[in-house]
Structure 1
Amino acid sequence: MNIKRLLPLVFALAVSAFVSPSFAKAPSAQPNAKSPAPKTEKLLPFMELYTSQACPRCPKGNENFSNFAAKTDVVAITFPVDYWDFMGWHDTYAQKGFTKRQEVLNASLGRRGPYTPQVIFNGKEHCSAINDKTMSRKLEATSQKQTELSVAYDGRDLSIANNATALDIWLIEFEPGETFATPKSGQNANKTMVYHNRAKQISLAGQVSESGTYHVPCPSHCAIIFEEPDHGAVLGAITFPKTPALNTALN
């Protein structure tokens, strides 16, 4: 499903949402000289799915994304959005912050507006989650860039080495594994939808421009995204704990 927006308006509204006073209160990355030295982790490609319980193609897109992520060495997060709620069913997982992120990312990609089910790869490419082959091709096209960045994380302190450029550090709290929802009305009434690593909260932990150790506490299961400023390319992502246990719930 497509939703059209004029690019300047989308960008202005979305950016203003990300710099609002409430959003600015997110945990700030602060130097911490007493941090432990956890094991260095490999940055993985980052895939983010935008989906809605009111989108008729999304049950299949969610399923494809879940299957693709399960067999691919990536960090994959599902973001439920709210802009299709007017169609008769209010998405039970959607958050306005997820919608705003998708709008800003689409503006940076040169699109007039977002759509569902949309997968964005490392902030640089996108496609529908309906086609597995297209997802494979897009992931391969955005996984070629090498980075010297070295990171380690223990759930509280984030150590960054070999960095000499500005990076936005995003903290995403998510429900690990697969969760499910069954809309009671609307386009997907009585259809059970699967969510792979469903996002619960997203916040900008801070911006770093050099190597160091920073305080970025994780409340439960988290993904940390290393992204160029102004929603540029994603260098990679990590998760904590490293291998989250499958948590299946029926709603």
Structure 2
Amino acid sequence: MFDSGTMASRLTLTLAALGLAAFLQPALADPPRAVVELFTSQGCSSCPPADELLVEYSRQPDIIALSLPVNYWDYLGWKDTLAHVAFTERQKAYAHSRSDRQVFTPQMIVNGKKSCIGSDRNQIEKAIQATSKGSRTLPVNVTVHEQNGRVAIVVEETPDTMHRAAELWVLPVLKAQTVPIERGENRGKTITYANVVRGLNRVGEWLGGSARFEVPLETARSGGDAYVVLLQSTDSARPGIILGAAKGPGL
């Protein structure tokens, strides 16, 4: 016998389950409009406000926010526990690319091009607008997908012939790291850093067409608990404008 009440109840439960399943699906990351890199140091008394601002940017779905701790303030009495010489070299390479030779902390580099005071939100927002030229996303679309212990990275073809060559990088990050600082200019403070870069891994070269790259998931997350992907132009082996970027799942 057909029981309309039972069928209606089952249909309601089914629709509710489908709705719950859809709700529980992880949201796809928004295409990023900007990548902001903060060069910071635990030994820099001016850095904590910039570190806090980067935490705020890290929560914006259309921003990729990165902390790159540098080591040149270690002599002030506290050795930065997260710093790496590669980040110091990257900051200096940016300065050479811009030809201004400005290296300081806290320094924010926006989209691989504009230098800002890392705690100046207004200056950073203006730099994002200037480097994006009114676009809501970066010029080249980059997506990532994990399967069978590997990360597949897809770079889409772009009609812009000015963007014909770039390097693809995977950066492992720690999503959050809290550090109690015992000596130096920030003695007695406990600071939480967001998206702390733990490595700079070059994956390959992009020549302007559609392309697919793969790296082991272990490599992508090495030393961290998440990762980001950067597609960045180069000039005489120095970092240039960032053409595309993507967040790994969970970031």
Same fold at TM > 0.5: yes
Distance of aligned partners of 1:187 and 1:148 in 2 relative to their CA distance in 1, 3 Å threshold: closer
Equivalent position of 2:232 in the other structure: 227
Would you say the 8 A contact 2:171–2:229 is kept in 1? yes
Distance of aligned partners of 1:43 and 1:64 in 2 relative to their CA distance in 1, 3 Å threshold: closer
- The amino acid of 2:204's aligned partner reads G
Q: Does 1:79 align with 2:59?
A: no
Q: Please list the CA deviations of residues 21-76 of structure 1 after superposition, one character each: whole Å capped at 9, or x if unmatched.
A: xxxxxxxxxxxxxxxxxx99734411100000111101121112222442462001
Equivalent position of 2:166 in the other structure: 167
Would you say the 8 A contact 1:66–1:196 is kept in 2? yes
Q: What TM-score do the two structures reach when normalised by structure 2?
A: 0.74
Q: Does 1:157 align with 2:152?
A: yes
Distance of aligned partners of 1:40 and 1:80 in 2 relative to their CA distance in 1, 3 Å threshold: closer
**Higher relative contact order (CA closer than 8 Å, sequence separation 6+):** 1
- Cα distance between partner residues in 2 of 1:57 and 1:151: 34
- Cα distance between partner residues in 2 of 1:114 and 1:40: 32
What are the equivalent positions in structure 2 for 1:83-232 lying under 5 Å apart?
83-144=72-133, 149-155=140-146, 156-163=151-158, 165-176=164-175, 178-209=176-207, 210-219=209-218, 220=221, 221-230=226-235, 231-232=239-240
- Cα distance between partner residues in 2 of 1:128 and 1:72: 22
- Cα distance between partner residues in 1 of 2:94 and 2:139: 25
- The amino acid of 1:211's aligned partner reads S
Distance of aligned partners of 1:60 and 1:42 in 2 relative to their CA distance in 1, 3 Å threshold: closer
Residue 78 of structure 1 deviates from its aligned partner by: 0.4
- The amino acid of 1:78's aligned partner reads S
SS in 1 for 2:75: helix
- Cα distance between partner residues in 2 of 1:94 and 1:79: 7
The RMSD of aligned alpha carbons is 2.1
Q: Which runs of 5+ in 1 are unaligned?
A: 1-38, 245-251
Would you say the 8 A contact 2:180–2:189 is kept in 1? yes
* Residue range with higher mean Cα deviation, 166-175 or 198-207: 198-207
- The amino acid of 1:215's aligned partner reads E
- Cα distance between partner residues in 2 of 1:151 and 1:71: 18
- Cα distance between partner residues in 1 of 2:205 and 2:143: 17
- Cα distance between partner residues in 1 of 2:61 and 2:143: 22
- Cα distance between partner residues in 1 of 2:234 and 2:155: 17
Equivalent position of 1:239 in the other structure: 247
Q: Quote the sequence identity (%).
A: 28
* Residue range with higher mean Cα deviation, 210-219 or 95-104: 210-219
- The amino acid of 2:171's aligned partner reads I
- Cα distance between partner residues in 1 of 2:116 and 2:196: 19
Superposed structure 1 runs of 4+ greater than 6 Å apart: none
Q: Please list the CA deviations of residues 184-211 of structure 1 after superposition, one character each: whole Å capped at 9, or x if unmatched.
A: 1111111112211111111221212132
Residue 148 of structure 1 deviates from its aligned partner by: 5.7
Residue 160 of structure 1 deviates from its aligned partner by: 2.0
SS in 1 for 2:50: helix
SS in 1 for 2:240: coil
